Each structure stands twice: as C-alpha cells, then as structure tokens.
Amino acid sequence: MPEGHSVHRIARQFARNFVGRTVVASSPQGRFAAGASAVSGQNMVESWAVGKQMFIKFESGDWIRVHLGIYGAWDFAGSIELDATIASANGRMGQTNARGTVFDTDGENSLSSIGAPRKSRVRMGEQTTAGRVGESTTAVFPPNPVGQVRLRLMTDSVCADLRGPTACELLTEEQVLGVIARLGPDPQHDSGKLAQEKFVERLRKKSTPVGVQLMDQSVVAGIGNVYRAEILFRAWIDPYKPGNKLSLDEANALWKDWVKLLAIGVETGQMMTMDGLRGKKWEAAMANRADRHWVYKRDGLSCRKCGTNIRLDMMASRKLYWCPSCQT
C-alpha cells in the first residue's frame, strides 16, 4: 500500500501537469462513467493529498477523491513535466554525480524520469517506475487504454490512467471536508501547531499500543508499515507501549520526526529513514532498501545500533519490525 509520501508526489504530478488546464475525463472501463462525464471538459483547479487520499478539484466545484489502496496505480504518459519539488531531488543526486539515475533494486526508483518535459511514461503507485524513453508505447499519444482503466484524465499533452483503486468517487466540497475531518492530521497538508496538537492529543488518549495507533489514519494520516517501524525505532519507543503512557515529549517528538521523514520521502520518492548519509553511502541507501532502513525487513539481522536480532511480530495483522533492546 502506498504510504503518504507517494500520494503527495502523485498529487504534485497532477498539480504540475493538469492544474490550470482543460481536462478530458473518461472511464474506459465504464465503472466511473458518470463521474468522469461530470468533470470532463473543465479546468482542474486544485490537486493535493491528505494521508493516503488524493483530492482533485474542477472549476465547477466538483471533486474527485482517489484512494489507491493496495493495488491502485496511476500511469502517466506523454510530455510529462516533473514538479519542481520533486525535481529538486535531482540537484541533490547531482551532488553525488549520480544525476537522477540512481536505480533502486526494489523498483522504488523515481528519479530516472526527472528532467525537461519529454515523451515518457511513469507509473506511480506504491512504487514509482519509469518506462524507457523510446519505448514503442510512447510513440502513440494518447496511448490506447490497456486493461481496467477506471479513470483517464487527459490534457492535450499528458494522459493519466488510474487502475485498481480502492476508491474513486465524485464528491461535493462539503463531502470532501467531511472526509478530511475524519482523517488525522498530515503535516504536508497542515504543518501548523494545531495539527501537531491534534496528533498528540489523539495518540495519548487511548491505551492502544502506539504501534497500532501510528497506522490508524484517524490519528495521523499517511503513515504505513515502513514509516511506522522506522519512526518508532528512531524514537527508541517500544511499539507495544500504550498511547496514554507516552510522555508529551515523546508524542511531540514522534510528530516532528514524521514531519521531517515525510518531507524527505516526498522530495526523493523513497522512504529514507537514515540521517546524515553522504556521498557513496547516500547513493547506496537510495539504491537499496537494505541500506536505508534501521529495522524494516531486517528481522533476524543484528540491530545496527546494539547488535540484538531485529524482531518480527504481527501487530494488528501487519508485520512489525523492531529492536527489543533499543526500543524499551
């Protein structure tokens, strides 16, 4: 399931390539035909995300809400311009002489598509993968819809196909506000003091383990399995600690760390959770998941801090990775 950073990146792709332009909408598969025809031919005026949900607004005041769920993904094709905040990762990679081409072995690479607008294809879901420029599929615009395309959004130069989402629905503004009210805060959407206070208050109200609550989208929107494990390790907090036993300082620190890690994730497209890496170490960590996480998927290996074996438990039916020595 895509964690918050990837959904923000998708929303920014739309902001860069669709907002301010007339959009033709269709539902090649048919399941969103009425919704698509309601917005087709209008200007897209906003695109942003809260947690794992994306909201796009059209000039009529209609909104589309998309939740990718486990299997959903967007495929972009055409002359795609990369969002400046995403492109800034290129400068950063440039310093390591790896100009935008650090390939990730797990297919999480999202930097290979950065550059001037050009004919290309990018898939954005749980992971981002770029198609090769010059692939025969880029020759025809718009590409023929392949498979179950729930929603196709198209300008005169860019086409985005949505497949396999958990949710894709037409909403009024009031309904959008209702959805957001039920979600916990997301620092990329609201970085204010109130958002932090809301998180701290919700987290410390219940005796539910903090490891469960960080995945609860009504406590904080956007954290998934990877960030949950890494944030708790970075704070040296036992995932089983009840929320109401966390100190105010601990809860505030969790929020601040999430603000920081999410910003890095949005910028680079990868869930980088190690600090202070430079040069070759940064490159290695960007290229391999095994080199950028403290505990995630490291069960049975020794803890990078203390040498204890990293543990794997099932918590609320999701895999939880943690160090029983450091996190006490």
Q: Closer to Zn ion at the Cβ: 251 or 323?
A: 323
Quick one: which segment of 155-163, 216-224, 270-278, 298-306 binds Zn ion (CB under 5 A)? 298-306
**Which stretch, 40-48, 78-86, 169-177, 295-303, contacts Zn ion (CB under 5 A)?**
295-303
Q: Which is nearer to Zn ion, 212 or 326 (CB)?
A: 326
- Minimum Å gap between C-beta 220 and Zn ion is 24
Within a 10 A sphere around the Cβ of 91, how many other Cβ atoms?
11
Phi then psi dihedrals of residue 313, to 5 deg:
-120, 160
Nearest-CB residue to Zn ion? 303
* Among the listed residues 123, 198, 217, the one whose alpha carbon sits nearest the alpha carbon of residue 161: 123
- 52 part of the active site: yes
By CB under 5 A, the count of residues binding Zn ion is 7
Q: Determine the Cα–Cα distance for residues 52 and 1; give it in Å rounded to an integer.
A: 9
- The three-class DSSP label of residue 231 is helix
Distances (CA, A) of 151 to 7, 70, 145, 170: 17, 17, 10, 11
237 binds Zn ion (CB under 5 A): no
Q: In angstroms, give the least distance from the CB of 212 to Zn ion.
A: 21
Q: By CB under 5 A, is residue 236 in contact with Zn ion?
A: no
- For position 70 contacting Zn ion by CB under 5 A, the verdict is no
Nearer to Zn ion, 97 or 328 (CB): 328
Among 95, 306, 316, 319, binds Zn ion (CB under 5 A): 306
Burial class (CB in 10 A: 0-12, 13-18, 19+), 76: buried
- Does residue 123 contact residue 162 with C-beta atoms inside 8 Å? no
Active site residue 239: no
Q: Pick from 21, 305, 316, 319 the residue near Zn ion by CB under 5 A.
A: 305
Q: Given candidates 64, 122, 303, 320, which one binds Zn ion under the rule CB under 5 A? A: 303
323 makes contact with Zn ion (CB under 5 A): yes
Contact region for Zn ion (CB under 5 A) — 99-107, 179-187, 204-212, 299-307?
A: 299-307
Q: Least distance from C-beta 268 to Zn ion, angstroms?
A: 26
Contact 141, 22 (CB under 8 A): no
CB of 308 to Zn ion, least distance (A): 5
Active-site residue, 305 included? no
Return the residue matching tokens 């410390």: 204
The reply on whether position 309 binds Zn ion by CB under 5 A is no
Q: What is the dihedral of CA 288, 293, 297, 301, to 10 degrees?
A: 100
Q: Contact 294/310 with Cβ under 8 angstroms?
A: no
| Amino acid identity for residue 112 in this structure | S
Q: Does 56 bind Zn ion (CB under 5 A)?
A: no
E strand spans, the chain: 22-26, 42-50, 53-58, 63-67, 73-80, 118-124, 128-130, 149-154, 158-163, 167-171, 311-315, 318-322
Residue of 9, 16, 52, 57 marked catalytic = 52
Q: Does 42 bind Zn ion (CB under 5 A)?
A: no
310: contact with Zn ion by CB under 5 A: no
Residue 318 annotated as catalytic: yes
226 Cβ neighbours under 8 A, 6+ residues apart:
3, 271, 273, 293, 296
- The minimum distance between CB 310 and Zn ion, in angstroms, equals 8
Residues belonging to the active site: 2-3, 52, 318
Residues in the site for Zn ion, rule: CB under 5 A?
303, 305-306, 308, 323, 325-326
